[in-house]
Structure 1
Amino acid sequence: MLQLPAIREHKDALVKALKKRNVDAEAMLNGVLLLDEKRRATQTELDSTLAESNKLSKEIGQLFKTGKVAEANAIKEKTAGLKDTSKNLTETLNGITEELNNLLYQIPNTPHESVPAGNSEEDNEEVFRKGEIPDLGGDALPHWELAKKYDLIDFELGVKVSGAGFPIYKGKGAKLQRALISYFLDKNTQAGYQEVQVPLLINETSGYGTGQLPDKEGQMYHVSGDDLYLIPTAEVPITNMYRDEILAETDFPIKMTGYTPCFRREAGSYGAHVRGLNRLHQFDKVEIVRIEHPENSYNALDSMVEHVKSILDELKLPYRILRLCGGDLGFTAALTYDFEVFSTAQDRWLEISSVSNFETYQANRLKLRFKDSDSKSLLAHTLNGSALALPRVLAGILENYQTKNGIKIPEVLVPYCGFEVID
């Protein structure tokens, strides 16, 4: 979330920056400042009351020692009143602080200066494109028909077991899925990311820490009996590993990668654009996460972009990179690059990765800090990216590598799959 000192000192600049998101934040920021003023005034009054109470307690002790019992008892009555006052002030302070935090949670991150203005995905800026789109002729099939033809993915059986959006991978489809996971993890660890295995369920505090709560509460599966949430991405548990931590400058960079299933309700999603693997409730993803010194975070972001590019280059899939506009930017991100693979059979681009810098926005929620060379405590920067989300990568491979004699396997995946073609 936004930092209170920044709101106090740069409110007008923040209002202007948030307009890139098409958010009029002036009323919310004014509300934050008003509550912050009340909080600080209440804290000052509480501190004064506690100080007076402590002073009188010491006087009472001295009076009892000198035999002045009547005077001591008289002051004790006053301290009893001060205790009631401090209790009431503490309750008031807690209420104001909770209200202040709830308001701060509703304010999105401010966009980086390079984020283009815009209202929707139509206004995103293409910054890179690579790969030839294959000419498959008029007989090219979309991936859901290829999956059925070669018995790779059973969407109907998934409906029977769980419901729509929960496919079952079979035979070479399951092996290709496993091959992609292993390949992505190997590429990430070779690039210096430490592999971790993390829980698939998180507590509410973790959801607030990385910004999924309260913003995306309706999109997350909630296990009400235990008050836990199924993760929407490995970013959440991996980043929360460092919640409430104070790092040293020498700890940077922190680079982690993890494979997890991901769960998203995708409420309200329907239509042809979500058919097959295009939009699922459960899917596999390999994530990369970095925790960086603020001075290096944008170099780190560029490095992450180049890393994802290298994977897609090896897969030899046609792709492009978009810099998201303010209106399409995620709630917690300062800058995001989306990677999209071209689906030849569907004649459309499919998002397969988002690489983002959150600057201090998540770190402020997480209380993730580091000590600089002057022992000053500062907020770290957090970043994450998909490397990669599997469903649409798999869809891109099936569609772009299809031939009359079957589906070829990208050369880099053959050692992982153990076969060169699906026929």
Structure 2
Amino acid sequence: MLPLQLLREQTDRIAQALSKRGLDAGPMLEEILRKDQERRSLQAQLDETLAEANRKSKEIGELFKAGKGAEAQALKAESAQLKEQSKTLGESLSRAADALQEALYQVPNAPHESVPAGQDEADNEVVAEGGKRPDLPEGAMPHWELAREYDLIDFELGVKITGAGFPVYKGKGARLQRALIQFFLDRNTEAGYTEVQVPHLVNADSGYGTGQLPDKEGQMYELKEDPLYLIPTAEVPVTNLFRDEILEASQLPVRYTAYSPCFRREAGSYGAHVRGLNRLHQFDKVEIVRVEHPERSYEALDGMVAHVKSLLEALGLPYRILRLCGGDLGFTSALTFDFEVWSAAQERWLEVSSVSNFEAFQANRLKLRFRDGNEKPQLAHTLNGSALALPRVLAGILENFQEADGIRIPEVLVPYAGFDRIQLG
């Protein structure tokens, strides 16, 4: 959520920045400022009414002490009227504050100045590319056929148990999943991230804190009987560890990593491009999260991008890095770099990570602040990235490392997996 003071003081700049998202934010911001003025006016009226009621209460006491009961009784009637007015004003103020808060929740983050304008993924900017695309053997297969051929993943069994988008990993497929999780966690902790295990269900306050709620796209799984949500990413519970906290500047940066399953409804996702592991309702992901001083958050973002890049290079996967345009930018992000791996058999790029700086957008919702000495607390910056999301990484490994007589395992994963090849029989 953009700070209200920022919207008051830099309305035109914020509107111009939001135009990169293809959003005409002028009317929206004007309405917010109108609601803010209404709220402040009601607050001033309430404060004045309460102050007048307090003055009359003191005066009533003094009149009774002076033996002027009749005059005191007359003032008591006026005081009662003021109390009724203050109650009515308080209710109006509460409604105005709720309306203002709801309006603020509708405004996405303002894109960073480096974000290119654009409508969708076609306008994203390729900033780097690395790795070598393989020359596949004749008869090379996409990962869903490889998974069936080598009995690694059973998509049909997942449909039987739950539904489409919930695969069952088997044998070496399951072991390769576990190897990737451990490899990513180890590399993240070596890079200075503290591992945490967090709940896979969160309450509504946590969803609002990181911007998943209100759920405009209907992507969250919500429990019927309890006001809880299945997490779409470990970013949500990890970042909420710091909700309503004031950190000392000396504690920054805070760096955490966590593995979790992720749950996304992916409503409206159909067609060949979502086959196999390309898009799932449940998948595994290792996340990195940082809480940073605002002056150092973009330096931290560069470091996170370099770290994710090193993971893909260690796996030997061909990759590219994209700077997302305004139209493809997530609601909460100020700047995002996407990582994609080349799917050799499908001949298309598959997203495996998004690394984002949210600046103070999440921190404002979370009331996550830091204090430097005796200075007034200020909002921190939050960042997160996938390091990495497993399904498409696994798809990339199966497709890019397939050979005529089996599938080769990246060398760095062999100690974790316990095997260096997947073969029939």
TM-score by length of 2: 0.98
CA contact (8 A) 1:258 1:286 kept: yes
Aligned to 1:45: 45
Aligned to 1:192: 192
Bigger shift: residues 137-146 or 66-75: 66-75
Aligned mates of 2:58, 2:297 — CA distance in 1: 52
Which string of whole-angstrom CA distances, capped at 9 and with x for unpartnered residues, describes residues 364-417 of structure 1? 111111123452121110000000000000000111111112111111011111
1:107-122 correspondence to structure 2 within 5 Å:
107-122=107-122
Aligned to 1:161: 161
Give the % identical residues.
69
Unaligned runs of 5+ in 2: none
1:207-226 correspondence to structure 2 within 5 Å:
207-216=207-216, 218-226=218-226
Bigger shift: residues 244-253 or 50-59: 50-59
Aligned to 1:395: 395
Query: How far did residue 66 of structure 1 move?
Result: 3.5
Which string of whole-angstrom CA distances, capped at 9 and with x for unpartnered residues, describes residues 315-336 of structure 1? 0100010000111100110000
1:118-267 correspondence to structure 2 within 5 Å:
118-216=118-216, 218-267=218-267
Aligned to 1:314: 314
Query: How far did residue 293 of structure 1 move?
Result: 0.4
Which string of whole-angstrom CA distances, capped at 9 and with x for unpartnered residues, describes residues 51-94 of structure 1? 11122222223333343333322222111111111111111111
CA contact (8 A) 1:215 1:331 kept: no
Aligned mates of 1:32, 1:84 — CA distance in 2: 29
TM-score by length of 1: 0.98
Query: How far did residue 6 of structure 1 move?
Result: 1.3
The amino acid across from 2:141 in the alignment is L
Aligned mates of 1:119, 1:95 — CA distance in 2: 36
Indicate the SS of the match to 1:385. Answer: strand
Query: How far did residue 24 of structure 1 move?
Result: 0.3
CA contact (8 A) 1:341 1:396 kept: yes
Aligned to 1:301: 301
**Residues 285/292 of structure 1: CA separation in 2 closer, same or farther (3 Å cut):** same
The amino acid across from 2:271 in the alignment is G
Aligned to 1:406: 406
Aligned length: 423
Aligned mates of 1:395, 1:127 — CA distance in 2: 23
Aligned mates of 2:422, 2:137 — CA distance in 1: 19
Indicate the SS of the match to 1:30. Answer: helix
Q: After the TM superposition, list the runs of 4 or more consecutive aligned residues in structure 1 that deviate by more than 6 angstroms.
A: none
Indicate the SS of the match to 1:172. Answer: helix
Q: Is 1:98 aligned to residue 102 of structure 2?
A: no
The amino acid across from 1:273 in the alignment is H
The amino acid across from 1:336 in the alignment is T
Aligned mates of 1:352, 1:216 — CA distance in 2: 23
Unaligned runs of 5+ in 1: none
CA contact (8 A) 1:223 1:229 kept: yes
Aligned to 1:280: 280
Cα RMSD between the aligned structures? 1.1
Indicate the SS of the match to 2:13. Answer: helix
